Amino acid sequence: HVAIHRKDYRPPDWLVPSIALEVDLDPQRTTVRSRLMVTRNGDHGRALRLAGDELTPLEVRVDGDDADWVMDGNDLVVTIERDRAEVETTVALVPAANTKLMGLYASGGILCTQCESEGFRRIAFHPDRPDVLSVYSVRMTADRACFPVLLANGNLVAAGEAGGGLHWAQWDDPFPKPSYLFAMVAGDLQPNRDRFTTMSGREVELAIWVRQIDLPKTAHAMASLKAAMRWDEETYGREYDLDLFNIVAVDDFNFGAMENKGLNIFNSRYVLADQDTATDSDFDNIAGVVAHEYFHNWSGDRVTCRDWFQLSLKEGFTVFRDQSFSADMGSAAVKRIDDVRVLRAAQFPEDAGPLAHPVRPETYIEITNFYTATVYNKGAELIRMMRTILGDEAYRKGSDLYFDRHDGQAATCEDFVRAMEDASGVDLGQFRLWYSQAGTPLVDARLSHDRDAATATLELSQSIPDTPGQTGKAPMLLPLRTALIGSDSGEPIGEERLILLGTATTTVRFDGVTEPPLLSINRDFSAPVNLRVERRDGELERLAEVDPDPFARYEAGQELMYRVLLAGASGEAADTAPVIAAARGTLVSDTLDPAFKSEALSLPAESLIGDRMQWVDPEAIHRSRDTLRSAIGSELGELLAAAQAVGAAGHDLSPKAKGIRRLRSVALSLMAAGDPLRGAAAAKAQFDLADNMTDRQGALLVLASLDSPEREAAFDAFYIRYRDDSLVLDKWFALQAAAQRLDTIEVVEKLASHPDFTVRNPNRWRALVGNFAANQWCFHDPSGRGYRFLADMILGVDRINPQVAARQVSSLGRWRRLEPVRAALMQAELERIVQSPGLSRDVFEQASKSLA
Ligand code: B3K
Ligand code: ZN
């Protein structure tokens, strides 16, 4: 397995200005005839090297004649004398046998493609690198009865009958694009059609293609698409550029969705929704992913990446764009809290573990392993910080300049930062370290007050932890939004400041501080750092009450909880009174909205508690968290019951209604922690009377971890009702895998042989395996049985779909954080994985790096 290095980048030897494909589609035997117009790039005598993956050439021609070619491993090497030539290759594929779901494959009778990152080479021989851009013309032929709909990128230019029950369609995409954005779909699909008029008055035909029976579930995705199109015009000045925009939903998909030019292909879980089958967060996720893929049309398609080390150029930026969109569509404060929760739960551990890598990695073995929380979510934080540093107006000028300058090009992260600098005049020299240094910075803060001088002094210091291959890092530029608040008055002292911490230590002075100040720092989580603040007695309690910055206020409440939880986990007694008082204050407040209340009442996850301990002790963490939950539940039983009793009509998807439902299930869960009998009854009633999936799933989640007769009845009823709806059946698997019970491991092992379980469908596999591995207390069973189960599942799926397998390896990868007995068991399973014969490159990279 060879490592690829960023420093080795070289421009392509040959360019491919245009491509014509003729594809005869059949699940058992598809033939692809591709004609690449190639031109020599620069003055050199090197042969044309085309990548292939599981491809055998049936024929190779250059300018119509037999060609001089050899295979070098998987590459087809063609000798060409002239500077320009037409290279024609023909290959045969078996889409029905493609279990990797990369390239051309079959999903429930639909033929579809997935090319990012290196899937095009499974369809045709091609340079298959993102800096080779071509105009594509695609002629597809297929059986009309089985595949009445034929789609590809761009515009439909002609179609017709081909005899023998076949028909054909010709699609041309006028925009040059890299091969990873190529797409084709053939299937028995129905469209939900709509139209959109762009800001310059152009008409765009929109269609979401699904199976007939799913058509009623596409309304929300369509509304989200139109909202995203409008938002991108208003916020970034970006207009859609083709006359068609198609979305197709398929059931078997390795990740969320794919931004192929003019033809986005989606995992059906990010398209299909109705009140009866999808939760409010499913609805929100659909809006977010539809927007994300649409936004890629500019940040990804019009301006693409030079090489895969630049992946965050499109992904970090596009995640930031979709986060901003969702914030504008609902509550910005709650959206920020949710985004930071994801960052801390997924990215911070990655940055602190064996797979840590910079936002712009230096090296990889398998690029698919670098579609990570670091590239995506930390990458988005980098864009957010630049906006904070530059201000909204200069940031917009910077993005305009970036799109303007690089339209039609394959660009780099450096190009993006330079556009921001050039448009604003702000020097981002030091800021660039965010792209090259891995690890979450740690900031220490200490505020002192001089009452006589009416000043306050804030001492700040930063350090960047070592990560694999990186030690002794330089201080970074950290934008910290900071304010002081009077602890007596509860009023802000002066204006909020943006502190740009760029040195290892610094001191900031505040004047006019006549009363003892509370420190509100890193407001709105302006820098993605870990913060250690020396707090005075009562400071957090007060901040949780009065901080006008909703994020900082939420944080203060969470810090209060951490104190109790961490003390409990290390066997110390802690006073729960401040937490209970804060929770009471939240519940009775008539100014806080229900969605914020539900955030403030949610305890930090067990994994996040573990991240703050020297050694993760899953048992102690679980006990401590359970103890605090039952204390809150029994102290505030009546208030929680009152909050649980308030519902909202299931069809109402306003932010307010969604907030009410969210609070309802959070309250139910705490209430059940305090009084399991009462909780079970309330949960069963909520389940039985629910007119929407949010209430139903919320109730089931609570029942899942209880020992009560209601539990089984509810799970059975749910199964019988939804057994034919695969997306809902995923929830049935997921909820059981996430249940906090002593028998969860047994249940999960049994579910792996349930007739509805299959390793062929990534959603189903992740519903069971992914949720179990995220269930800290149960997964880390001291017997090691959970680890063994996971390793078996990874090895099992690796044979058919390495990408799915590799994504789950990180659950074993942080073994060094566990106490020695568990650590040894985890390490042993990783070793067993690494030593397995026939291991994929994907899993090998993740497992071997985790052991290093
Ligand atoms: N760009 C795709 C991800 C492709 C993952 C390839 N292993 C979806 C997205 O981020 O929008
Ligand atoms: Zn993306």
Peptide bond preceding 18: is omega within 30 degrees of 0, i.e. cis?
no
Say whether both 274 and 341 belong to one domain: no
- Is residue 180 lining ligand 1, measured as CB closer than 6 Å? no
Distance between CA atoms of residues 603 and 601, nearest Å: 6
Torsion angles phi and psi, residue 783, rounded to 5? -70, -20
Distance between CA atoms of residues 210 and 250, nearest Å: 8
Q: Which helix (H) or strand (E) holds 555?
A: helix 550-569
Name the residue at shortest CA distance from atom 9 of ligand 1. Answer: 258
Distance between CA atoms of residues 784 and 776, nearest Å: 13
Give me the amino acid identity at 492.
Answer: P
Compute the distance from residue 293 Cα to the ligand 2 centre, in Å.
6
Strands lying side by side in the sheet with 30-40? 65-66, 59-62, 84-93, 30-40, 14-24, 133-143, 166-178, 155-163
Count of C-beta atoms within a 10 Å radius of residue 651 = 10
Distance between CA atoms of residues 45 and 80, nearest Å: 9
293: annotated active-site residue: yes
Residue that terminates a domain, selected from 488, 505, 527: 527
Q: Which residues contact 241 (CB under 8 A, 6 or more apart)?
A: 175, 297, 302
Q: Cβ(21)–Cβ(120) under 8 Å?
A: no
- Is residue 371 lining ligand 1, measured as CB closer than 6 Å? yes
Judge residue 712's burial from the number of C-beta atoms within 10 Å of its C-beta, 0-12 exposed, 13-18 middle, 19 or more buried. exposed
What's CA 629's distance to the chain center, in Å? 29
Q: Indicate if the alpha-carbon torsion angle 628, 634, 640, 641 is positive or negative.
A: positive
Mutate to test the pocket of ligand 1, among 371, 804, 845 (most ligand atoms within 8 A of CB): 371
Which tokens belong to 155?
């515009």
Say whether both 421 and 489 belong to one domain: no
Q: What is the CATH number of the domain that holds 473?
A: 2.60.40.1840
Residue 789, pLDDT above cutoff 90: yes
Say whether both 419 and 465 belong to one domain: no
Q: What is the CATH number of the domain that holds 260?
A: 3.30.2010.30
Q: What is the CATH number of the domain that holds 849?
A: 1.25.50.10
When pLDDT is cut at 50, 70 and 90, the band that residue 681 belongs to is: very high
- 553-592 burial, b for 16+ CB within 10 Å, e for fewer? bbbbbbbbbbbbbbebbeeeebebebbbebbeebbeeeeb
Distance between CA atoms of residues 214 and 146, nearest Å: 18
| Cα Rg, the chain, nearest whole Å | 28
Instruction: List pLDDT tens digits, range 81-121.
Output: 999 999 999 999 999 999 999 999 999 999 999 999 999 99
DSSP class of 550: H
Q: Comparing C-alpha atoms, which of 369, 332, 328, 320 is closest to residue 528?
A: 320
**616 within some domain:** no
Say whether both 460 and 335 belong to one domain: no
Distance between CA atoms of residues 405 and 416, nearest Å: 10
Torsion angles phi and psi, residue 66, rounded to 5? -55, 140
Residue 1, pLDDT above cutoff 90: no
Q: Cβ(121)–Cβ(51) under 8 Å?
A: yes
SS3 string, 447-487, reads EEEECCCCEEEEEEEEECCCECCECCCCCCCEEEEEEEEEC
Instruction: List pLDDT tens digits, range 731-750.
Output: 999 999 999 999 999 999 99
Name the residue at shortest CA distance from atom 10 of ligand 1. Answer: 315
Say whether both 258 and 345 belong to one domain: no
Q: Which helix (H) or strand (E) holds 347?
A: none
* Residue with token string 């990186």: 470
**667 within some domain:** no
Return the ligand number nearest the Cα of 116: 1
SS3 string, 211-259, reads CHHHHHHCHHHHHHHHHHHHHHHHHHCCCCCCCEEEEEEECCCCCCEEC
**447 within some domain:** yes
Q: Cβ(407)–Cβ(394) under 8 Å?
A: no
Compute the distance from residue 355 Cα to the ligand 1 centre, in Å.
19
Say whether both 81 and 133 belong to one domain: yes
Would you state the pLDDT for residue 548?
97
Say whether both 424 and 503 belong to one domain: no
Q: Comparing C-alpha atoms, which of 500, 617, 608, 530 is closest to residue 569?
A: 617
Would you state the pLDDT for residue 57?
97
Distance between CA atoms of residues 201 and 207, nearest Å: 19
Say whether both 738 and 848 belong to one domain: yes
**329 within some domain:** yes
Name the residue at shortest CA distance from atom 5 of ligand 1. Answer: 116
Which tokens belong to 662?
């969210």
Distance between CA atoms of residues 541 and 581, nearest Å: 9
Q: Cβ(88)–Cβ(34) under 8 Å?
A: yes
- Is residue 297 lining ligand 1, measured as CB closer than 6 Å? no
- Domain range spanning residue 16? 1-99+109-147+156-169
Residue that terminates a domain, selected from 276, 301, 326: 301
Instruction: List pLDDT tens digits, range 42-83.
Output: 999 999 999 999 999 999 999 999 999 999 999 999 999 999
Say whether both 244 and 227 belong to one domain: yes
DSSP class of 46: P
Average pLDDT over residues 553-568: 98
Instruction: List pLDDT tens digits, range 444-480.
Output: 999 999 999 999 999 999 999 999 999 999 999 999 9
Compute the distance from residue 289 Cα to the ligand 2 centre, in Å.
8
DSSP bridge partners of 38: 85
Residue that terminates a domain, selected from 527, 545, 563: 527
Instruction: List pLDDT tens digits, range 328-368.
Output: 999 999 999 999 999 999 999 999 999 999 999 999 999 99
* Positions of E strands within 125-198: 133-143, 149-152, 155-163, 166-178, 184-187, 190-197
Say whether both 766 and 808 belong to one domain: yes
Which tokens belong to 185?
């779909």
**695 within some domain:** no
**89 within some domain:** yes
Which tokens belong to 454?
């009416």
The model scores a pTM over 0.90 = yes
**176 within some domain:** no
Q: What is the CATH number of the domain that holds 351?
A: 1.10.390.10
CA distances from 311 to 11, 476, 507 (A): 17, 22, 37
- Is residue 265 lining ligand 1, measured as CB closer than 6 Å? no
Q: Cβ(803)–Cβ(765) under 8 Å?
A: no
What's CA 26's distance to the chain center, in Å? 33
- Is residue 293 lining ligand 1, measured as CB closer than 6 Å? yes
Distance between CA atoms of residues 377 and 383, nearest Å: 10
- Is residue 117 lining ligand 1, measured as CB closer than 6 Å? yes
Would you state the pLDDT for residue 134?
98
Mutate to test the pocket of ligand 1, among 117, 247, 258 (most ligand atoms within 8 A of CB): 258
- Is residue 255 lining ligand 1, measured as CB closer than 6 Å? yes
Alpha carbons within 13 angstroms on the beta-carbon side of residue 528 total 30
* Residue with token string 């004398």: 81
* % of the chain with per-residue pLDDT over 70: 100
Compute the distance from residue 807 Cα to the ligand 2 centre, in Å.
17
Would you state the pLDDT for residue 390?
98
Instruction: List pLDDT tens digits, range 793-818.
Output: 999 999 999 999 999 999 999 999 99
Distance between CA atoms of residues 363 and 370, nearest Å: 10
Name the residue at shortest CA distance from atom 7 of ligand 1. Answer: 368
Work out the end-to-end distance of the chain between its first and last CA atoms, rounded to an integer number of angstroms: 16
> What CA dihedral angle connects 617, 618, 619 and 622, to 10 degrees?
120
Mutate to test the pocket of ligand 1, among 285, 304, 314, 315 (most ligand atoms within 8 A of CB): 315
Say whether both 73 and 163 belong to one domain: yes
**630 within some domain:** no
Would you state the pLDDT for residue 575?
95
- Is residue 314 lining ligand 1, measured as CB closer than 6 Å? no
Q: Which residues contact 369 (CB under 8 A, 6 or more apart)?
A: 806, 842, 845, 846
**Mean pLDDT (the chain, rounded):** 98
- Is residue 292 lining ligand 1, measured as CB closer than 6 Å? yes
- How many distinct structural domains can be found in the chain? 5
Which tokens belong to 27?
């699940």
Which tokens belong to 509?
């002075």
When pLDDT is cut at 50, 70 and 90, the band that residue 780 belongs to is: very high
Say whether both 420 and 340 belong to one domain: yes
Compute the distance from residue 318 Cα to the ligand 2 centre, in Å.
6
Q: What is the CATH number of the domain that holds 59?
A: 2.60.40.1730
Compute the distance from residue 275 Cα to the ligand 2 centre, in Å.
27
Question: Which atom of ligand 1 lies nearest, measured to the CA of 368?
Answer: 7
- Is residue 368 lining ligand 1, measured as CB closer than 6 Å? yes
Compute the distance from residue 255 Cα to the ligand 1 centre, in Å.
7
In a 3-state reduction of DSSP, which class is residue 515? coil
